């Protein structure tokens, strides 16, 4: 009887220790998500798949990012899109069209417009900012999603912060700390976009998304995917890449 009591007490103590070790706050979970998703610098090749009423088009592009403020993308196929380029410099966003021959600035609400006819906005495409900088997080609980155990976070835009989405809801894989599903809402509470991270892989010691699907709920019968075919994180990038001169070369 004594031996059984000791075993029972030991089991309870171990269970309590395990629970304590596994208990994470909403802020700690979000920090782990940011460490996976935000890169100091990156070079990549990718595909943009756009489905409209069941018809899928594929565009190829390559690009670079550095910190939160610098991003460059250039489309390489199909031929009608070849040479179309985008540049983010701080709060400025520029687009270059070969048939125009000069860069055009995209500003204001236009930044929330469709990138190359996709469900991704210009802001979605070049975002490389830590969510913790702009959003307060609340842990709403835990839920299994497609057999994956997830933390469920609700993010609300901080007072004075800027963002395309007033609130976000994330389903964060408890093992990888990748948000395998996200919902983006307007200030009125309207669901604007549904996002799924369908694939990720280990890159430079982190879990990094390589296939992201987005559905713009303000459109009908559409979805779009970013598929990274090659990605390098923490690489050195020539400074001239992030200039209007390079954009208009």
**Domain assignment of residue 14, yes or no:** no
Our count of domains for the chain comes to 1
pLDDT tens digits, one per residue of 172-197 = 999 999 999 999 999 999 999 999 99
Cβ neighbours for 59, distance < 8 A, ≥ 6 positions apart: 47, 48, 50, 75, 77, 78, 81, 116
**Domain assignment of residue 151, yes or no:** yes
**Domain assignment of residue 160, yes or no:** yes
Q: Are 246 and 240 a contacting pair, CB within 8 Å?
A: yes
Cβ neighbours for 205, distance < 8 A, ≥ 6 positions apart: none
**Domain assignment of residue 94, yes or no:** yes
Total Cβ atoms within 10 A of residue 206: 18
Only one residue has tokens 């899928």, namely 56
**Domain assignment of residue 48, yes or no:** yes
**Domain assignment of residue 118, yes or no:** yes
| Tokens describing residue 222 | 């559409």
pLDDT of residue 9: 43
Low-confidence ranges of the chain (pLDDT < 70): 1-22
CATH number at residue 198: 2.50.20.10
| Tokens describing residue 150 | 């997830």
**Domain assignment of residue 17, yes or no:** no
| Tokens describing residue 43 | 């070079």
Residue 171 is part of which domain span?
Answer: 26-247
**Domain assignment of residue 85, yes or no:** yes
Q: Are 138 and 153 a contacting pair, CB within 8 Å?
A: yes
Q: What is the pTM of this model?
A: 0.87
């Amino acid at each position: 009887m004594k031996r059984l009591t000791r075993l029972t007490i030991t089991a309870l103590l171990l269970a309590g220790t395990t629970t304590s070790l596994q208990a994470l706050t909403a802020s700690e979970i979000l920090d782990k998500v940011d460490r996976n998703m935000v890169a100091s610098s990156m070079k990549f090749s990718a595909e943009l798949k756009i489905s409209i009423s069941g018809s899928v088009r594929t565009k190829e592009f390559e690009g670079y990012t550095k910190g939160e403020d610098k991003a460059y993308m250039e489309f390489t196929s199909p031929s009608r899109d070849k040479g179309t380029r985008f540049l983010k410099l701080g709060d400025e966003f520029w687009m270059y069209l070969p048939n125009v021959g000069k860069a055009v600035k995209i500003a204001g609400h236009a930044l929330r417009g469709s990138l190359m006819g996709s469900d991704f906005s210009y802001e979605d495409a070049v975002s490389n900012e830590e969510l913790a900088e702009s959003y307060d997080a609340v842990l709403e609980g835990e839920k299994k999603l497609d057999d994956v155990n997830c933390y469920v976070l609700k993010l609300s835009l901080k007072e004075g912060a800027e963002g395309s989405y007033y609130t976000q809801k994330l389903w964060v894989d408890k093992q990888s700390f990748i948000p395998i599903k996200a919902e983006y809402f307007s200030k009125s509470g309207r669901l604007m976009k549904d996002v799924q991270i369908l694939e990720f892989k280990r890159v430079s010691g982190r879990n990094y998304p390589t296939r992201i699907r987005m559905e713009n709920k303000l459109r009908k019968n559409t979805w779009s995917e970013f598929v990274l075919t090659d990605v390098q994180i923490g690489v050195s990038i020539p400074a001239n890449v992030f200039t209007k001169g390079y954009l208009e070369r």
